[in-house]
């Protein structure tokens, strides 16, 4: 090995006594916390830690260890041997150690662990003599051979399990514990044979030091195993952090009735209640708890079984919680009456528990309100806001689709909206299952517990409507087949009949057979308390995206400070309005179109009155019509089929009408509707539509005002790319405002602004700002255009594949793509504010409800975010965390 300049090489290995909680980045969570416990006098087994830097250096060198690392490990091992008076492999006083991963962020169960390292043919006899328990010694050896074989040498675990089962059959026993010391000695020999058959002769070896080197190497490598990579992606943990490796003297909970092992929390992680919570087993190792062979006992019963250790544990728990200022999750072992803590870490908890613990720690004076606000993972709050499937209930998973709208639902399968309506109104809970939904299905969606579709993505009709209604939706379920004639569906290889009960979870995208029990949403006083604290801290305002008075009211209940995006197109889609809307689209001239618009106008005004009343005193940003007109017509395929059907059997008059409709559908159908005649392009081509909408808004506001209300509408022009578009639409709107307010004899100014949802709009935001009172970044469409991908075509297709393959880390429709879309948003903000420093800036894409994205928007200086009503509390918390200078991702 190359000589090393020890003066300049980094320190790759630390004794536990050298570490502390602050060294988490270098020592990993486990290493830092064990060191911290040792530092403050909590009993822990002795040991040392190989740093994350060593792991990163090895990864960067394709696995080759950095110079000096192995020598440092040997140094520290020698010191440990000296301190304990034991040696690896020693036939008299053998030292056994555990080799465990310990990442900066906890990744439970994702990486590899090796226990009992140091045992070999010599040491096993020393261990037997020392413990007076040969069975224990040989069992420890057997476990080591198995773990080392699996983890380091890649021997299939089945090979070992098979040999063990066979031996038990031969001996006629049911449990491992019924095997004798001799049996286990034989098993050790057999396991070694199995290992060498699989990994090659001599692979196992008998030198514990070499085995230690291989074990450390295996832990390094396990950072990059697929399940760890998946876990990191799901939890936003960077791939390049690497793991530390903790080498710690083994302590044994299986040395008789004065020994034991357990896990406990300082508070109840399910409810947050301040109570002892945990489990233990006498005469057992941690593995046994996990294996489920023996049922662990409640921690309170430990007082009788191991009284001294119990009292020391309870005191230590209180001490650790006070020391860390948060609920702890602790692993411990009692070896012959003596308590050792193996690990302490911040306890994972449900959203409900997180909120309660944070509030009570404030009440107890342990943490500040700011700290409490920072303690909550806003991503978890979803759990509080929708019913969820009882996590303890059995699950019969049929299929998984896109988690298009959160919440869970149980009901009978129905295959069309009429059936849904009939059964739903009769009181039967139903789940509407469709290839995809259309505006014609609305009445079915309204009564259903949830919607499942075979096609469509996160912005499909079903998904948008369901989110708007706060109903669960699972979209794009791969392989879902619907047979409307047989009234059956095929899903996950099974066939269900209409009327069969299923369960769906729109938060996870899962569809289960049968009716699972649901847990109702939780929204308690602790939650109100902590969001109220958040409101005092945050700078970012939080509005909601809401299209109906009901949504607006719900949003206000969740603390929305206005509406950031009120879409007007859904108002056009309801059954009784669609005929007028279609008449408008099919109008042959302006007069005809104006007549149809006159039918729609009073309905629109009514919509706006309800929304403005619900948001009395708060701003309501109303976006004028955005989607291409063909969205309100049947598809080309449908219209073609109608013509052919009528041609065969219908009346000549019907044929003329159907052909006219087909011709208009053909004319309006677009190759890429996302990039077609929509937004202000419609307003410029058919100014009478925007004029009608503007008039309905102004008249609604004047009516609400006349009734003593305080309406605050703002009019938003969509899809602007050129300042001239906005200039012209602004003139149109201002003319209507002037006419209507003059007629009413009042002075009532209304702000006019624009969506920034095209790259060009952000690039020339300085030009556009001169015509705008506000910008609202439409980050959904901006993501589609900046990345050049259609959400409907990407999710469930190549985008999903990209996430699986690690081409990208995060779904850019969930968390804003900071380098790309984020840079464009930043450009728009800077350009806009450069010419108009007080320009109001908002965000109305779905990113407004995503905590990581909210942190970005705070940094970039926008004034408000707007999100779906259910996500308003999440955004409030995330905004407060951002204001505190550290968004949740930094924890």
Q: Taking the complex as a whole, how short is the minimal distance between the CB of residue 455 and its own copies, in angstroms? A: 8
Q: What residues numbered 587-646 form the site for its own copies, per CB under 8 A?
A: 636-637, 640
Where helices occur in 172-257 by DSSP H, the ranges are 181-199, 208-222, 226-234
Q: Taking the complex as a whole, how short is the minimal distance between the CB of residue 663 and its own copies, in angstroms? A: 11
Nearer to its own copies, 209 or 810 (CB): 810
Q: Which of 785, 811, 815, 853 is in the footprint of its own copies by CB under 8 A? A: 785
Q: Taking the complex as a whole, how short is the minimal distance between the CB of residue 62 and its own copies, in angstroms? A: 16
Q: What residues numbered 715-734 form the site for its own copies, per CB under 8 A?
A: 719, 721-722, 724-725, 728
Nearest CA to 259 among 290, 285, 297? 285
Nearer to its own copies, 296 or 759 (CB): 759
Nearer to its own copies, 495 or 808 (CB): 808
The number of C-alpha atoms within 13 Å of 287 and in the hemisphere containing its C-beta is 14
Distance CA 193, CA 288 (A): 25
Distance CA 220, CA 58 (A): 8
Nearest CA to 116 among 83, 85, 82, 151? 151
Distance CA 439, CA 419 (A): 16
Q: Taking the complex as a whole, how short is the minimal distance between the CB of residue 46 and its own copies, in angstroms? A: 44
Nearer to its own copies, 9 or 763 (CB): 763
Q: What residues numbered 286-315 form the site for its own copies, per CB under 8 A?
A: none
Q: Taking the complex as a whole, how short is the minimal distance between the CB of residue 813 and its own copies, in angstroms? A: 13
Q: Taking the complex as a whole, how short is the minimal distance between the CB of residue 860 and its own copies, in angstroms? A: 15
- Binding flag, residue 655, its own copies (CB under 8 A): no
Contact status, residue 572 vs residue 585, Cβ threshold 8 Å: no
- Binding flag, residue 741, its own copies (CB under 8 A): no
Distance CA 594, CA 344 (A): 71
Structure tokens at 98: 């555990």
Residues in contact with its own copies, total (CB under 8 A)? Answer: 51
Q: Taking the complex as a whole, how short is the minimal distance between the CB of residue 781 and its own copies, in angstroms? A: 7
- Binding flag, residue 442, its own copies (CB under 8 A): no
Q: Which of 245, 601, 786, 872 is in the footprint of its own copies by CB under 8 A? A: 786
- Binding flag, residue 807, its own copies (CB under 8 A): yes
Q: Which of 5, 485, 747, 805 is in the footprint of its own copies by CB under 8 A? A: 805
- Binding flag, residue 675, its own copies (CB under 8 A): yes
Which positions from 743 to 782 touch its own copies by CB under 8 A, shown as an x/- string?
Answer: --------------xxxx--xx--x-------------x-
Nearest CA to 89 among 47, 48, 124? 124
Nearer to its own copies, 359 or 643 (CB): 643
Nearer to its own copies, 397 or 808 (CB): 808
Nearer to its own copies, 258 or 669 (CB): 669
φ/ψ (deg, to 5) at 337:
85, -15
Q: Annotated catalytic, 844?
A: yes
Distance CA 427, CA 410 (A): 13
Kindly name the residue from 386, 461, 526, 847 that is annotated as catalytic.
461
Q: Which stretch binds its own copies (CB under 8 A): 117-125, 437-445, 669-677, 701-709?
A: 669-677
Q: Which of 92, 161, 197, 670 is in the footprint of its own copies by CB under 8 A? A: 670
Q: Facing residues of 49 across strands?
A: 14, 246
Nearest CA to 871 among 841, 848, 845, 844? 848
Q: Taking the complex as a whole, how short is the minimal distance between the CB of residue 480 and its own copies, in angstroms? A: 13
Q: Which of 26, 794, 852, 877 is in the footprint of its own copies by CB under 8 A? A: 794
Q: Annotated catalytic, 311?
A: no
Distance CA 866, CA 269 (A): 32
Distance CA 607, CA 612 (A): 9
Q: Facing residues of 544 across strands?
A: 563, 867
Nearest CA to 856 among 832, 890, 808? 890
Distance CA 458, CA 463 (A): 6
DSSP code for 821: I
Contact status, residue 470 vs residue 440, Cβ threshold 8 Å: no
Nearest CA to 89 among 144, 155, 156, 153? 144
Which positions from 808 to 847 touch its own copies by CB under 8 A, shown as an x/- string?
Answer: x--------x-xxx-xx-----------------------
Nearer to its own copies, 15 or 688 (CB): 688
Q: Which sign, positive or negative, has the C-alpha torsion 372, 378, 384, 388?
A: negative
Distances from the Cα of 430 to the Cαs of 395, 411, 412, 460, in angstroms? 19, 4, 4, 21
Q: Taking the complex as a whole, how short is the minimal distance between the CB of residue 194 and its own copies, in angstroms? A: 35
- Binding flag, residue 233, its own copies (CB under 8 A): no
Structure tokens at 582: 């279609």
- Binding flag, residue 784, its own copies (CB under 8 A): yes
Q: How many angstroms separate the first and last alpha carbons of the chain? A: 39
Distance CA 669, CA 518 (A): 43
Structure tokens at 164: 């063990």
Nearer to its own copies, 704 or 789 (CB): 789
Q: Taking the complex as a whole, how short is the minimal distance between the CB of residue 871 and its own copies, in angstroms? A: 25
Kindly name the residue from 55, 264, 473, 844 that is annotated as catalytic.
844
Nearer to its own copies, 15 or 638 (CB): 638
Q: Which residues are catalytic?
A: 461, 844
**Contact residues: its own copies, CB under 8 A:** 636-637, 640, 670-677, 681, 684-685, 719, 721-722, 724-725, 728, 757-760, 763-764, 767, 781, 784-790, 792-794, 797-798, 801-802, 805, 807-808, 817, 819-821, 823-824
């Amino acid at each position: 090995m190359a000589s090393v300049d020890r003066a300049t090489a980094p320190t790759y290995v630390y004794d536990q006594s050298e570490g502390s909680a602050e060294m988490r980045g270098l020592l990993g969570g486990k290493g830092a916390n064990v060191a911290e416990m040792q530092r403050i006098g909590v009993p822990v087994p002795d040991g040392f830690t190989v740093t994350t830097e060593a792991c990163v250096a090895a990864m960067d060198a394709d696995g080759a260890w950095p110079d000096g690392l192995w020598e440092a490990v040997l140094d520290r091992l020698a010191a440990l041997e000296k301190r304990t008076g034991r040696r690896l492999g020693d036939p008299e006083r053998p030292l056994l150690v555990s080799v465990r991963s310990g990442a900066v962020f906890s990744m439970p169960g994702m990486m590899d662990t090796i226990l009992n390292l140091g045992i070999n043919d010599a040491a096993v006899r020393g261990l037997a003599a020392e413990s007076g328990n040969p069975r224990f010694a040989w069992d420890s050896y057997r476990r080591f051979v198995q773990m080392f074989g699996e983890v380091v040498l890649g021997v299939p675990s089945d090979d070992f399990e098979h040999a063990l089962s066979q031996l038990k059959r031969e001996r006629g026993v049911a449990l491992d514990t019924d095997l004798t010391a001799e049996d286990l000695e034989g098993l050790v020999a057999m396991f070694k044979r199995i290992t060498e058959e699989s990994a090659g002769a001599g692979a196992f070896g008998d030198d514990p030091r070499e085995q230690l080197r291989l074990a450390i190497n295996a832990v390094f490598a396990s950072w990059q195993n697929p399940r760890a990579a998946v876990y990191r992606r799901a939890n936003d943990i960077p791939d390049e952090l690497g793991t530390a490796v903790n080498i710690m003297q083994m302590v044994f909970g299986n040395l008789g009735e004065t020994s034991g092992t357990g896990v406990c929390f300082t508070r109840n992680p399910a409810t947050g209640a301040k109570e002892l919570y945990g489990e233990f087993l006498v005469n057992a190792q941690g593995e046994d708890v996990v294996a489920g062979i023996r049922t662990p006992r409640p921690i309170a019963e430990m007082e009788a079984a191991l009284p001294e250790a119990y009292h020391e544990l309870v005191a230590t728990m209180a001490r650790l919680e006070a020391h860390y200022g948060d609920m702890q999750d602790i692993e411990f072992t009692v070896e012959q009456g003596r308590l050792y803590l193996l690990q302490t870490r911040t306890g994972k908890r449900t959203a409900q528990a997180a909120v309660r613990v944070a509030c009570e720690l404030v009440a107890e004076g342990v943490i500040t309100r700011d700290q409490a606000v920072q303690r909550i993972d806003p991503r978890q709050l979803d759990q509080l806001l929708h019913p969820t499937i009882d996590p303890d209930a059995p699950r019969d998973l049929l299929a998984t689709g896109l988690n298009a709208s959160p919440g869970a639902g149980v009901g009978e399968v129905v295959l069309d909206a009429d059936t849904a309506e009939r059964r739903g109104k009769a009181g039967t809970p139903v789940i509407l299952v469709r290839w995809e939904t259309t505006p014609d299905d609305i009445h079915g969606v309204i009564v259903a517990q949830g919607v499942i579709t075979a096609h469509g993505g996160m912005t499909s009709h079903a998904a948008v409507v369901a989110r708007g209604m706060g109903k669960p939706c699972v979209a794009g379920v791969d392989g879902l087949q619907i047979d409307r004639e047989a009234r059956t569906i095929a899903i996950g290889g099974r066939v269900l009949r209409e009327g069969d009960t299923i369960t769906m979870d729109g938060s996870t995208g899962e569809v289960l057979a049968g009716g699972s029990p649901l847990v109702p949403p939780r929204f308690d006083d602790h939650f109100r308390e902590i969001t109220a604290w958040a409101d005092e801290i945050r700078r970012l305002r939080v509005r909601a995206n809401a299209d109906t008075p009901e949504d607006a009211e719900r949003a206000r209940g969740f603390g929305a400070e206005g509406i950031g995006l009120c879409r007007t197109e859904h108002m056009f889609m309801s059954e009784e309005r669609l005929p007028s809307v279609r008449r408008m689209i099919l109008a042959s001239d302006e007069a005809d179109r104006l007549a149809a618009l006159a039918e729609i106008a009073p309905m629109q005004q009514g919509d706006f009155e309800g929304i403005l009343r619900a948001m009395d005193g708060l701003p309501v940003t109303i976006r004028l019509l955005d989607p291409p007109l063909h969205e309100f017509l049947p598809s080309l395929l449908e219209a073609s089929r109608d013509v052919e059907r009528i041609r065969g059997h219908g009346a000549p008059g019907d044929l003329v009408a159907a052909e006219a409709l087909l011709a208009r559908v053909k004319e309006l159908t677009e190759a890429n509707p996302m990039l077609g005649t929509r937004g202000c392009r419609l307003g410029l081509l058919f100014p009478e539509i925007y004029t009608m909408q503007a008039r309905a808004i102004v008249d609604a506001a004047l009516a609400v005002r006349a009734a003593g209300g305080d309406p605050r509408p703002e009019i938003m022009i969509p899809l602007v790319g050129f300042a001239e578009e906005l200039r012209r639409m602004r003139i149109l709107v201002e003319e209507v405002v002037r006419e209507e307010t003059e007629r009413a004899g009042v002075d009532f100014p209304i702000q006019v602004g624009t969506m920034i949802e095209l790259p060009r709009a952000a690039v020339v935001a300085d030009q556009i700002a001169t015509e705008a009172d506000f910008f609202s970044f439409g980050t959904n469409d901006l993501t589609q255009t900046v990345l050049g991908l259609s959400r409907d075509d990407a999710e469930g297709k190549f985008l999903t594949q990209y996430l699986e393959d690690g081409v990208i880390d995060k779904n850019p429709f969930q968390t804003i793509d900071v380098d790309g879309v984020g840079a464009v948003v930043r450009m728009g903000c800077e350009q806009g504010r450069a010419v108009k420093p007080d320009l109001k800036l908002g965000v109305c894409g779905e990113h407004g409800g995503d905590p990581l994205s909210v942190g970005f928007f705070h940094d970039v200086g926008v004034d408000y975010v707007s999100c779906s009503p259910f996500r308003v509390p999440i955004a409030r918390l995330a905004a407060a965390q951002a204001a505190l200078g550290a968004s949740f991702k930094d924890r």
